[in-house]
Structure 1
Amino acid sequence: MSLCNDCIRGVTHEGTPKGAWEVIGGVNTYVATPRGGRAYPRNVAILFLPDAYGPQLINSRLLADDFASNGFQVFIPDYLDNDPLPPHVMVPGMPKVPFDIDKWLAKHGERQTRPLIDALMRALREERGIERFAAVGYCFGGKYVFDLACENIIQAAVVAHPSLLNVPGDFEKYVQKSRIPLLMHTCPIDSQFPPSAANAADSILGNGKFAPGYVRLNYDGCRHGFTIRGDLSDPVVKKAKEDAFKATVAWLRVHLCASPRGPRYDREAPRIRNVL
């Protein structure tokens, strides 16, 4: 399996990240927490698993800040070990430098990346008292959400246009092994997770077949990557990104910390810097 063109193309968003980089459990991590003295549950956290551009891409950090502004502490591990896809692969107008995506992907398989996720989670439990995790994964990160959920070491799962899943095998495994409620954000233009895969997921988990909870939300007019690298000058994409965010916050409040408050989208959508 490999990444598709939409896994690497997209838009770089503008904004000023409010979080900070910390080394936790030996893992370089972007940390976003609620600001302004706002109270938040200290024993729960969002483990944000980014796309192949890692937390170095500002989009992921801005989105983590959005979750923090809604009352969550968020941790994005640099599980690509400071070797994300280089910016020139996505940014338009730059010299066309050859880049072998498959060679890069071979260096960032489960054997290389998963130990960094585990080290961060272990340190957060031991050093910061985190007792409950939600894993939220985008594109490349979606596969890891499935793995963590099947091991039942998180309490809530959210994936947006996941990459590198085995369909139907990963969904059959999810039903057999996981007890973790799953929210999926999908779109019709997605070679990594096409409508046939979405239908397979619904067939296996939907209609109450997966008792812990399963919801799949589909966003017409969008393509793979819209929640993390979408073109916010397109009103359809902008609304879909915001709706997916709100639905994720609502899901986490029910399944991670059982808060009755509704979701908020506290920050204006960032301006667009680059569009492919």
Structure 2
Amino acid sequence: MAKAAPVSALGLAFFVTLSSFVFLSLGQEKLGRHCSENPPTLNPNYGFGFVKDIGGLKAYVSGHSKRGILLVSDIFGYEAPHLRDIADRVALAGFHAVVPDFFYGDPYKQNTSRTIEEWSKNHGTDKGFKDAKKVTAALRKEGIHAVGAAGFCWGGKVVAQLASTNFTKATVLLHPSRVTLDDIKAVKVPISILAAELDNGTPPELLKQFDEALTGNKIENRIKIFPKVQHGWTVRYNDSDATAVKAAIEAHIDMFIWLSKYLRWHF
């Protein structure tokens, strides 16, 4: 497992190039308080892309390419500005970015009487996994046969399950929730796990088990722990916090480099 290092020259070049076009605006426990901290202000009109139906789900789509990247949101859904920013930057780098609405217009909302546990009863990751397969199958029909997947928090569990199939070429989990050792043992594609040092959902002991299982199964993998950040740091950071923004950007770059490595030769 690797500790986060300073952003590489390649990473900086990637970000600087794209930022001229776009502004930055795991564990076995239940979804908890850490999954709902720093909620985004949702905006259905945000981004340079558009919304269309893919596989029976509405999805934010950005870019035109035969190589696709599926981005699976946390519990706050596909209208989160930071998530759409990521999709737009991925698109500008030459990929077809797709962010489906796995919650069918019902993302988790704070300050309501409904708890996360109650909300989760209608929005389980098993259903998300089935829907993710529908979306990737629909992308194949559109001629996009090379698809990589990245999942955030709730979405990390979904793409971990998706990685046990042949629907994707590579996957990235970013501060995933409820990912089990059995999930990881079933992974068949190259996988990168970007974890937060301050995240009880994916403690170092569990990450070590993930590393051992993946290595034992001869699955290409990279597990990286980002110091001094908490669960959700890649999509729910404060724009005015320079340290938080820098850590988020580094994770986005790592995600992009990993997925592009396994998609670039597929057309």
Name the TM-score class by shorter chain: 0.7 to 0.9
Residue correspondences, number: 236
> Mind listing any 5+ residue stretches in structure 2 that lack a counterpart?
1-28
Confirm or deny that 1:2 pairs with 2:30: yes
Q: Distance in 2 between matches of 1:171 and 1:22?
A: 32
More displaced, 243-252 or 131-140?
243-252
Asked if structure 1 preserves the Cα contact closer than 8 Å seen for 2:42 and 2:79, the reply is no
More displaced, 9-18 or 197-206?
9-18
Q: Distance in 2 between matches of 1:115 and 1:149?
A: 13
Alignment partner, residue 256 of structure 2? 249
More displaced, 230-239 or 183-192?
230-239
Asked if structure 2 preserves the Cα contact closer than 8 Å seen for 1:12 and 1:229, the reply is yes
Q: Alpha-carbon deviation of 1:13?
A: 7.3
Confirm or deny that 1:17 pairs with 2:47: yes
Query: Judging changes above 3 Å, is the alpha-carbon distance between structure 1 residues 43 and 217 closer, same or farther for their aligned structure 2 residues?
Result: same
Q: Distance in 2 between matches of 1:52 and 1:67?
A: 21
Asked if structure 2 preserves the Cα contact closer than 8 Å seen for 1:222 and 1:236, the reply is no
Q: Distance in 1 between matches of 2:126 and 2:172?
A: 23
| Match 1:203 to one of 198, 212, 231 | 212
What's the secondary structure of 1:188's corresponding residue?
A: strand
Q: Alpha-carbon deviation of 1:110?
A: 4.1
Percent of aligned pairs sharing the same letter: 28
What's the secondary structure of 1:230's corresponding residue?
A: coil
Asked if structure 2 preserves the Cα contact closer than 8 Å seen for 1:4 and 1:192, the reply is no
Q: Alpha-carbon deviation of 1:111?
A: 4.9
What's the secondary structure of 1:219's corresponding residue?
A: strand
- RMSD between superposed Cα atoms in Å: 2.1
Whichever residue aligns with residue 71 of structure 1, its letter is: G
Confirm or deny that 1:50 pairs with 2:68: no
Q: How does 1:123-272 map to 2 (within 5 A)?
A: 123-126=138-141, 128-166=142-180, 168-174=181-187, 178=188, 180-206=189-215, 209-258=216-265
Query: Judging changes above 3 Å, is the alpha-carbon distance between structure 1 residues 187 and 134 closer, same or farther for their aligned structure 2 residues?
Result: same
Q: Distance in 1 between matches of 2:256 and 2:213?
A: 25
Asked if structure 1 preserves the Cα contact closer than 8 Å seen for 2:157 and 2:178, the reply is yes
Q: Alpha-carbon deviation of 1:195?
A: 2.0
Query: Judging changes above 3 Å, is the alpha-carbon distance between structure 1 residues 219 and 232 closer, same or farther for their aligned structure 2 residues?
Result: farther
| Match 2:135 to one of 87, 98, 120 | 120
Query: Judging changes above 3 Å, is the alpha-carbon distance between structure 1 residues 64 and 242 closer, same or farther for their aligned structure 2 residues?
Result: same
Q: Alpha-carbon deviation of 1:100?
A: 1.4
Alignment partner, residue 77 of structure 1? 100
Asked if structure 1 preserves the Cα contact closer than 8 Å seen for 2:136 and 2:167, the reply is no
Please list the CA deviations of residues 166-209 of structure 1 after superposition, one character each: whole Å capped at 9, or x if unmatched.
2x2222233xxx1x100110111112212221222223224xx4
Q: Distance in 1 between matches of 2:124 and 2:42?
A: 30
More displaced, 96-105 or 112-121?
112-121
What's the secondary structure of 2:230's corresponding residue?
A: coil
Whichever residue aligns with residue 100 of structure 1, its letter is: T
Alignment partner, residue 267 of structure 1? none
Alignment partner, residue 121 of structure 2? 106
What's the secondary structure of 1:211's corresponding residue?
A: coil
TM-score, length basis structure 2: 0.81
Asked if structure 1 preserves the Cα contact closer than 8 Å seen for 2:184 and 2:210, the reply is yes
Q: Distance in 2 between matches of 1:59 and 1:99?
A: 25
Q: Alpha-carbon deviation of 1:25?
A: 2.7
More displaced, 217-226 or 227-236?
227-236
Q: Distance in 2 between matches of 1:212 and 1:172?
A: 10
Q: Alpha-carbon deviation of 1:258?
A: 4.1
Q: Alpha-carbon deviation of 1:134?
A: 0.3
Q: Distance in 2 between matches of 1:103 and 1:14?
A: 21
